[in-house]
Amino acid sequence: MRLEFLYRQMLCNSEQHEDWATRAAIGSLLEVMAILMRGDIRSDAHKEIDTQIAQLVRFRSQPQVDDKRLDTLIGNLTASRKDIDSAGSNFLQPLKDNEFLSSIKHRSAIPGGTCEFDLPEYSHWLRQPFSRRQTDLSAWLSIIRPVCDAVVEVLWLIRECEPPMEKVAINGMYQHRMQKDSHCKMLRVRLPGDCSLYPEISGSQRRFTIRFLEWSCIGSRSVQTGHDVTFLIAVC
């Protein structure tokens, strides 16, 4: 989910003309690289795609299934699996070997380390026309896109696999014990858009607790509400 968050952030900022947005896009790219280099995200995404395809194939024999929609989902996952296979296990190597990005990465650890007098080449590149900057960003993005797109696709399927249920948090607290055969990967909590509360979730494999907190301003600490809260939850 952190990878998805950073990837969407990079996509958004890479479309903006301002050099500050380009800076933000580069920052997101470096953080995406850090996550991808920590573990074998590509292999994990591949395994999850295989799991999702197997689950979807089982729906073919179910009545009232939209075969066209099902084929589209399976086709999208199959294409994503093919893309990450084609990328190979060393897909990040071109980014690792890029001296321009490496210099930004090393200086980014220092507060203000990427300013003009520290990285004049970076500042010069940021002053280039948007079309030039976007060309370079697109080239770097194409390297991480297969894995990131696969992660986004899988997370979307996980989120949509269970319908939300209405629950009530008594005095702002809701506790749930998982069944032994449960394979929960994600919790989704929904509140009305104009709600002044926000959820805080804690737990383990077998149980979780949701506390709904009241927020007033950044100068005071949030506290658990004393009112019953009706909300929607999906245990995916």
pTM of the shown model: 0.83
- Digit-coded pLDDT (tens) for 115-128: 888 889 999 999 99
**What integer pLDDT is reported at residue 65 of this predicted model?**
79
| pLDDT over threshold 80, residue 16 | yes
Q: SS in 3 state form for the chain?
A: CHHHHHHHHHHHHHCCCCHHHHHHHHHHHHHHHHHHHHCCHHHHHHHHHHHHHHHHHHHHHCCCCCHHHHHHHHHHHHHHHHHHHHHCCCCCHHHHCCHHHHHHHHHHCCCCCCCCCCCHHHHHHHCCCHHHHHHHHHHHHHHHHHHHHHHHHHHHHHHHCCCCEEEEEECCEEEEECCCCCCCCCEEEECCCCCCEEEEEEECCCEEEEEEEECCCCCCCCEECCCCEEEEEEEC
> pLDDT-derived band of residue 58, with 50, 70 and 90 as boundaries?
confident
| pLDDT over threshold 90, residue 141 | yes
| pLDDT over threshold 80, residue 106 | yes
User: What is the average per-residue pLDDT within 110-117?
Assistant: 87
- Digit-coded pLDDT (tens) for 171-180: 999 998 887 7
- Digit-coded pLDDT (tens) for 197-222: 999 999 887 889 999 998 877 778 88
Hey, which CATH number is domain 165-235, 2.40.128.280, 3.40.50.720, 2.60.440.10, 1.10.3720.10?
A: 2.60.440.10
**What integer pLDDT is reported at residue 195 of this predicted model?**
85
Give residue 33's identity as a one-letter amino acid code: M
Cα separation, 97 vs 79, in Å, equals: 28
Is there a common fold for 2-160 and 165-235?
no
- Digit-coded pLDDT (tens) for 27-37: 999 999 999 98
Q: Which residues pair with 168 in a beta bridge?
A: 230
**What integer pLDDT is reported at residue 120 of this predicted model?**
92
Domain boundaries of the chain, sorted by first residue: 2-160, 165-235
CATH (residue range 2-160): 1.10.3900.10
